[in-house]
């Protein structure tokens, strides 16, 4: 087992003190960069539903509260 494998194995058993996640609030962008590779300027202007986001957060808290 090499050093990297040991670190990865240890990471599975060390409790995390922080939680990171991304929230995609829109897939649209009103900039128009020449090098854009995501095609976001072409996407319809839609935004995340705040009620859905609130439900997601509540569910997330419910799921992690016992961790
Ligand atoms: S690269 Fe694309 S998504 Fe990023 S800011 Fe520019 S146009 Fe918007």
* pLDDT at position 48: 93
Tally of domains in the chain: 1
Cβ-contact 30, 47 below 8 angstroms: no
Instruction: Indicate which residue's Cα is closest to atom 6 of ligand 1.
Output: 33
* pLDDT at position 29: 93
Domain for residue 24, yes or no? yes
Domain for residue 52, yes or no? yes
pLDDT along the chain (67 residues), means of 10: 88 82 90 91 93 93 77
Domain for residue 1, yes or no? no
Domain for residue 62, yes or no? yes
Kindly state if the Cβ of 43 falls inside 6 Å of ligand 1.
Answer: no
Domain range for 28 is 20-67
* pLDDT at position 67: 56
Domain for residue 48, yes or no? yes
Question: Residue 61: phi, psi to the nearest 5?
Answer: -60, -45
Ligand 1 center from residue 47 Cα (angstroms): 16
Domain for residue 6, yes or no? no
Instruction: Indicate which residue's Cα is closest to atom 1 of ligand 1.
Output: 36
User: pTM score, two decimals?
Assistant: 0.55
């Amino acid at each position: 087992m090499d050093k990297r494998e040991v670190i990865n194995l240890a990471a599975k058993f060390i409790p995390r003190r922080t939680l990171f996640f991304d929230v995609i609030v829109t897939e649209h962008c009103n900039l128009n960069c020449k090098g854009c590779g995501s095609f976001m300027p072409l996407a319809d202007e839609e935004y995340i539903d705040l009620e859905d986001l609130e439900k997601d957060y509540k569910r997330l808290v419910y799921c992690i509260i016992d961790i």
